[in-house]
């Protein structure tokens, strides 16, 4: 074949791929009352279905009604040799299912995928590491699991060890490794895979800042060496740095396909749909007799509903509350916490001198954060209401997530997004001068 033709031809072509899962539901809990007779009939039906399933070797479904759920539907796209394609989408958009199909862990329900070349997938770093085995043994074990031949591993052994920086501990069981060393070794094996197509899923979310930089560098190296890479990440920074093209998945379908810049913008905008959150009675924790939180709406500085905010720009929240009985000195609050559950900000009305006397009925409050002082990343928003100085009467936590993007908060060029990866989350203004 002519070399020019080789480089142009698709190495992956996905045609109308769909993946269906069956999900069991329980209808019983919805029923107002159950008679023993109904229950017996229901159980008998379940038993019959289960035994038929066991005999025919089919998977069992829990619950008494089975519903279809399409994790992927009509997904089609092609990837050419040497392309680095980012796959982005919200949790549950079907990214992992797509990768599982491509790496042959599960079969598509319909449609076809053509692959030209070996596929290696880094679905999770360190898959198959055995704690009792030494670093050296694990390199061979993990390499074989990822599809390397023993000869290939032996050839690249020194490179792998050097990249991971674990020369001294090669003959120590990996259970005695620090978590950092463990991850470094695992990534190193994976990064040295000899395959034409590499699938990378969130591997950059591990290790310290320095090592992440190293990984990103390694990924760039892989991409430049002409291998095809499928890259899944929530780290938009890495996606925009690495990828030549992006596919945006939403609810199992390809929503957008194009250059990374516009794909990322598209993806971030598609998240703003949950800027308005209706809050059910169930979500109101320890609600006593006074209040119910009904609705939360997030807006940007121009009063446009949003869930993505830019550092240094305003954030507004509108909170609709139902008051059940006359209450004096009411305090409304918004809580911002990190993804790991650490509380970062409390915005409490009473701290700003605002306590409200409320009569029964609905009330809407608005709070403005003049400048978002959070580092780029994702954060959880919660709401509470209660009497000032007392424990909250109703609270609804982790209602929605906001996404904060890098913005110019200081008026000077910053590399705050890089500091953000090392775990820092809140910006605090500071004044500097030279005294000596």
Partner 1 sequence: MSEYELILAAGRTEKNYWRDLWRYRELFQVLAWRDISVRYKQTVIGAAWALIRPFLTMLVFTVIFGKVAKLPSDGNTPYALLVLAGMLPWQFFSTALSDASNSLVANSNLISKVYFPRLIVPIATVVVAFVDFVISFVILLGLMVWYRFVPDWHILFLPLFVGLAFLSSVGPGLWITTLNVRYRDFRYIIPFIVQFGLYVSPVGFSSQMIPDKYRLLYGLNPMVGVIDGFRWCILRGESPLHPGSFIASVVVTAAFLWLGIHQFRKMEKSFADLL
Minimum CB separation of residue 399 from partner 1 in Å reads: 32
Whose tokens are 């928003």? That residue is 381
154 binds partner 1 (CB under 8 A): no
Minimum CB separation of residue 137 from partner 1 in Å reads: 7
- Among 42, 141, 369, 405, which residue sits at the site for partner 1 (rule: CB under 8 A)? 141
Q: Give the per-residue contact string, 67-106, with partner 1 (x = CB under 8 A; - = no).
A: ---------------------------------xxxxxxx
Beta-carbon contacts of 178 under 8 Å, excluding residues fewer than 6 positions away, are none
124 binds partner 1 (CB under 8 A): yes
Max Cα-Cα span within the chain = 88
In this structure, the number of other CB atoms found within 10 A of the CB of residue 211 comes to 17
Contacts of 213-218 with CB under 8 Å at 24 or more apart are: 214/163, 215/187, 215/191, 216/241, 216/242, 218/163, 218/187, 218/191
- Among 42, 113, 347, 416, which residue sits at the site for partner 1 (rule: CB under 8 A)? 113
Of 110 and 416, the one with the shorter C-beta distance to partner 1 is 110
117 binds partner 1 (CB under 8 A): yes
109 binds partner 1 (CB under 8 A): yes
Minimum CB separation of residue 174 from partner 1 in Å reads: 12
Q: How far is CA 269 from the centre of its chain?
A: 16
According to DSSP, the residues that pair with 365 across neighbouring strands are: 319
Binding to partner 1 (CB under 8 A) within 244-303 occurs at none
**Quick one: tokens of 393?**
């009467």
210 binds partner 1 (CB under 8 A): no
Q: Using DSSP bridges, classify how beta strands 245-250 and 84-89 pair: parallel, antiparallel or unpaired.
A: parallel
Minimum CB separation of residue 198 from partner 1 in Å reads: 14
- Among 25, 49, 116, 136, which residue sits at the site for partner 1 (rule: CB under 8 A)? 116
- Among 31, 43, 118, 176, which residue sits at the site for partner 1 (rule: CB under 8 A)? 118
Binding to partner 1 (CB under 8 A) within 22-61 occurs at 54, 57, 59-60
171 binds partner 1 (CB under 8 A): no
- Among 10, 63, 82, 128, which residue sits at the site for partner 1 (rule: CB under 8 A)? 128
- Among 133, 218, 354, 405, which residue sits at the site for partner 1 (rule: CB under 8 A)? 133
Spatial separation of the C-alpha atoms in residues 139 and 174, rounded to whole Å: 11
Number of residues near partner 1 (by CB under 8 A) = 42
**Which is nearest to 125 in space by CA: 194, 207, 196, 195?**
207
> HSE-up of 157 (CA within 13 Å, CB side)?
16
286 phi, psi to nearest 5 deg: 25, 40
Of 107 and 289, the one with the shorter C-beta distance to partner 1 is 107
Of 183 and 287, the one with the shorter C-beta distance to partner 1 is 183
Is residue 85 within 8 Å of 22, Cβ to Cβ?
no
Spatial separation of the C-alpha atoms in residues 136 and 144, rounded to whole Å: 13
Spatial separation of the C-alpha atoms in residues 238 and 219, rounded to whole Å: 10
Residues near partner 1 (CB under 8 A) are 21, 54, 57, 59-60, 100-118, 121, 123-124, 127-128, 130, 132-133, 137, 140-141, 144-147, 149-150, 196
């Amino acid at each position: 074949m002519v070399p020019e033709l080789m480089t142009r031809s698709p190495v992956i072509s996905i045609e109308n791929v769909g993946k269906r899962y069956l999900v069991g539901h329980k209808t019983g809990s919805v029923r107002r009352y159950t008679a023993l007779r109904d229950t017996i009939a229901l159980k008998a039906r379940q038993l019959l279905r289960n035994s038929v399933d066991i005999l025919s070797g089919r998977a069992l479904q829990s619950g008494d009604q089975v519903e279809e759920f399409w994790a992927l539907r009509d997904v089609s796209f092609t990837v050419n040799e040497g392309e680095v394609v980012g796959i982005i989408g919200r949790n549950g958009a079907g990214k992992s299912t797509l990768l599982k199909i491509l790496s042959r862990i599960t079969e598509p329900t319909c449609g076809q995928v053509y692959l030209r070349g070996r596929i290696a997938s880094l679905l999770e770093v360190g898959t198959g590491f055995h704690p009792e085995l030494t670093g050296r043994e694990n390199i061979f074990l993990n390499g074989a699991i990822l599809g390397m031949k023993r000869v290939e591993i032996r050839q690249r052994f020194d490179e792998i060890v050097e990249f991971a920086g674990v020369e001294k501990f090669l003959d120590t069981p990996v259970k005695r490794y620090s978590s950092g060393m463990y991850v470094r070794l695992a990534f190193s094996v994976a990064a040295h895979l000899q395959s034409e197509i590499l699938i990378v899923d969130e591997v950059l979310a591990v290790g310290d800042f320095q090592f992440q930089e190293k990984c990103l560098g390694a990924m760039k190296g892989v991409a430049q060496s002409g291998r095809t890479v499928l890259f899944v990440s929530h780290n938009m920074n890495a996606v925009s740095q690495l990828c030549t093209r992006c596919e945006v998945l939403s609810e199992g379908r390809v929503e957008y396909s194009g250059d990374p810049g516009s794909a990322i913008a598209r993806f971030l905008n598609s998240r703003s749909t949950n800027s308005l959150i209706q809050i059910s009675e169930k979500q109101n924790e320890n609600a006593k007799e006074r209040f119910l939180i009904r609705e939360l709406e997030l807006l940007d500085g121009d009063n446009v509903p949003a869930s993505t905010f830019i550092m240094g720009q305003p954030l507004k929240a509108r909170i609709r509350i139902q008051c059940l009985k006359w209450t004096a000195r009411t305090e409304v609050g918004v809580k911002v916490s990190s993804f790991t559950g650490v509380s970062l900000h409390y915005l409490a009305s009473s701290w700003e001198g605002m306590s409200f006397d409320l009569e029964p009925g609905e009330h809407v409050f608005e709070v403005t954060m003049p400048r978002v002082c959070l580092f780029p990343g994702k954060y959880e928003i919660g709401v509470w209401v209660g009497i000032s100085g007392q424990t909250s009467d109703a609270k609804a936590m982790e209602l929605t997530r906001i996404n904060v993007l890098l913005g110019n908060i200081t008026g000077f060029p910053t590399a705050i997004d890089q500091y953000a990866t090392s775990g820092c989350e809140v910006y605090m203004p500071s004044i500097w001068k030279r005294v000596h």
